[in-house]
Amino acid sequence: MLRYWNNNEETNKVLKDGWLYTGDIGEFDNNFLKITDRKKDIIITPGGENISPIKIENDLIKLNFIEQTLVYGDNKPYLVALIVLSKEQKDLKDFKIQEEIEKINTNLSKIEKIKKYFVIKEQFSIENGMLTPTLKLKRYKIIQKYKNEFEKLY
């Protein structure tokens, strides 16, 4: 917290009532705090509902053919996804991808369902600036790079 030293304005932004406000969202699990999301990553629908993209992305990554994914749809009528296929599945057919996404959609609420998607070949990495050193998605950079592809889905 070196940059907060003798800087009351910045300190007051992150320390409130003895708590450090990190911007993380979590839940208690057997007396342990489990970090589940980042507040700034929450997608807000036009109706004002909050959606955790990380929850949906984790469901998608559980599919053996998806290596990486990013869910998009802040202030949009529905959610869409960018998908990076695993190296072994580069030639997977669209109908198979759609079929598996539909299975995941059955466990999601109406506003969380993925309506459309597109596939890219480039994997996200630290080297191409799409991942942080802790291997988290740099959402803003990815969205900016693929903005046209996302918007074509609407």
Q: What are the residue ranges spanned by the domains of the chain?
A: 1-40, 42-152
User: What is the fold of 42-152?
Assistant: GMP Synthetase; Chain A, domain 3 (3.30.300)
Category of 96 on φ-ψ map: left (φ > 0), alpha (ψ -120 to 50) or beta:
alpha
- In angstroms and rounded to an integer, the radius of gyration of the C-alpha atoms of the chain is 18
* Interstrand relation of 43-44 and 79-85 (parallel, antiparallel or unpaired): unpaired
Strand, coil or helix: 65:
coil
Rounded Cα–Cα distance for residues 113 and 132 (Å): 27
Q: In this predicted structure, what is the pLDDT of residue 37?
A: 53
Q: In this predicted structure, what is the pLDDT of residue 27?
A: 75
Q: Compute the C-alpha angle 50/86/65, nearest 5°.
A: 70
From first to last of its 154 residues, the chain has per-residue pLDDT tens of: 566 677 777 777 777 787 777 666 677 888 887 765 556 678 888 888 889 898 899 999 999 899 999 999 989 999 999 999 987 776 677 778 899 999 999 999 999 999 999 999 899 998 998 988 778 888 889 999 999 999 999 9
Q: In this predicted structure, what is the pLDDT of residue 61?
A: 93
Q: In this predicted structure, what is the pLDDT of residue 3?
A: 62
pTM: 0.73
The pair of structure tokens assigned to 85 is 């296929």
Q: In this predicted structure, what is the pLDDT of residue 25?
A: 63
Q: Quickly count: other Cβ atoms within 10 Å of residue 154's Cβ.
A: 12
Q: Phi and psi of 20, rounded to 5°?
A: -95, 115
Rounded Cα–Cα distance for residues 29 and 149 (Å): 38
